[in-house]
Structure 1
């Protein structure tokens, strides 16, 4: 039996997003809202997205919503099943390996390409501090969100809008893997100190050291996630 869209609470929160659409709602804006909600875990892997319920919650037409679904399918966040509708994608271990391949190429290159300090590290530092605060209060889901922001900020050091767009999609896709794991603390806590270490290296003007540390970090994370990932065939 396949899970459907989600609880009434989730849909009521989604309805609150209607204000984000403004008067000129577009498929891109709807896709942006749904992308963020998928990344936050409101719609979990394997869940079918109801056109009627989501369209009513956001106050958009079925055609607009279908176009948003097509955009998210292109981004690998959704899959379309004939005569069944759109579903949040369930990643395979080969998907995870490929995501980490892209992350290594983009994030390490962004750090490697830094010139002479000082660097614009405010977003990186803010993400590190947010993760540490979340861990102190036991908010491991929030810690995961802060960790995503940390890696987005590292990629942002490249100063490229195209790179930023690419990484938003890649990291949103990666969240699908973490949403099916049972113990988020296990996957986020060990990396808090490593995030701080990379930030410190960058603050000290050592991008080469930060790149090496990041490379080891990503490989450890990839291996840990794949070893623990519950491979599914549904």
Structure 2
């Protein structure tokens, strides 16, 4: 499915943005669309449609594509075009290498403010409601939001930018789990437990539990990918 209409890319917002005509800004917009699940694995990114919709030159758009290709967000296929990537096992391993280094450290040493805790508690409540309603996409959204909030405890804009990239790639991985709708539901209670530990000041338990959580999630994803390819 080709992607790149003016409506899909919120052209009005783009034109009012201060960085609307830079490759970095275009890469950010496309990355956010991937993170939101609006651009799915295998979708073709039409160069002509995108350059028209965004009001930028094809050269600028190609720079953005190069940035996203370096992040494993898109794949260039000679004589066919640019497509949203479909991450495989090695990409999953790399995602979790990054997450294991950042997230437990954020839980252990980040600044856990009352405001941050309130935000995280609201997120897990949203996840619980989504689970009860059987809303898989909403559970995935809440899961992404919680892990971003954990990294937000660091107060580092650079780490948050890195996490945005990781979570965008995670969203692509989630599409591979479409045949396992209970994948997200089993982590809702773990997320609740994580926030409870942070609330209680049990930072070491929170960090250790989060690492175990990430290990379990990675193992399940890799097993599912192996079954799919087999």
Distance 1:116 1:62, change over 3 A: closer
Q: Deviations over 1:4-23 (max 9, x none)?
A: 424xxx836414x1122134
| Aligned alpha-carbon RMSD (Å) | 2.4
Gaps of 5+ in 2: none
> Hey, what does 1:5 align to over in structure 2?
2
Mapped contact 1:178–1:184 kept (Cα < 8 A): no
Deviation at 1:27, TM superposition (A): 2.1
> Hey, what does 1:82 align to over in structure 2?
78
> Hey, what does 1:209 align to over in structure 2?
205
Distance 1:64 1:117, change over 3 A: closer
Structure 2 residue matching 1:14: 3-state secondary structure? coil
Q: Deviations over 1:51-82 (max 9, x none)?
A: 11223333333223222212211222012223
Mapped contact 2:116–2:149 kept (Cα < 8 A): no
> Hey, what does 2:30 align to over in structure 1?
34
With normalisation by structure 2, the TM-score equals 0.88
Mapped contact 2:51–2:61 kept (Cα < 8 A): yes
Distance in structure 2 (CA, Å) of the matches to 1:59 and 1:80: 22
Distance in structure 2 (CA, Å) of the matches to 1:107 and 1:173: 16
Mapped contact 1:31–1:69 kept (Cα < 8 A): yes
Distance in structure 1 (CA, Å) of the matches to 2:134 and 2:155: 33
The correspondence for 1:59, drawn from 37, 55, 72, is 55
Q: Across the two proteins, how many residue pairs are aligned to each other?
A: 226
Deviation at 1:163, TM superposition (A): 0.8
Deviation at 1:116, TM superposition (A): 8.1
Deviation at 1:84, TM superposition (A): 2.4
The correspondence for 2:8, drawn from 8, 14, 32, is 14
List structure 1 runs of 4+ shifted beyond 4 angstroms.
Answer: 115-119
Deviation at 1:150, TM superposition (A): 0.6
Q: Deviations over 1:13-37 (max 9, x none)?
A: 414x112213452222222221122
> Hey, what does 1:150 align to over in structure 2?
146
Deviation at 1:183, TM superposition (A): 3.3
The correspondence for 2:96, drawn from 100, 113, 128, is 100
Gaps of 5+ in 1: none
The correspondence for 1:162, drawn from 158, 164, 184, is 158
> Hey, what does 1:176 align to over in structure 2?
172
Structure 1 residue matching 2:184: 3-state secondary structure? helix
Distance in structure 1 (CA, Å) of the matches to 2:108 and 2:60: 41
Distance in structure 1 (CA, Å) of the matches to 2:118 and 2:23: 32
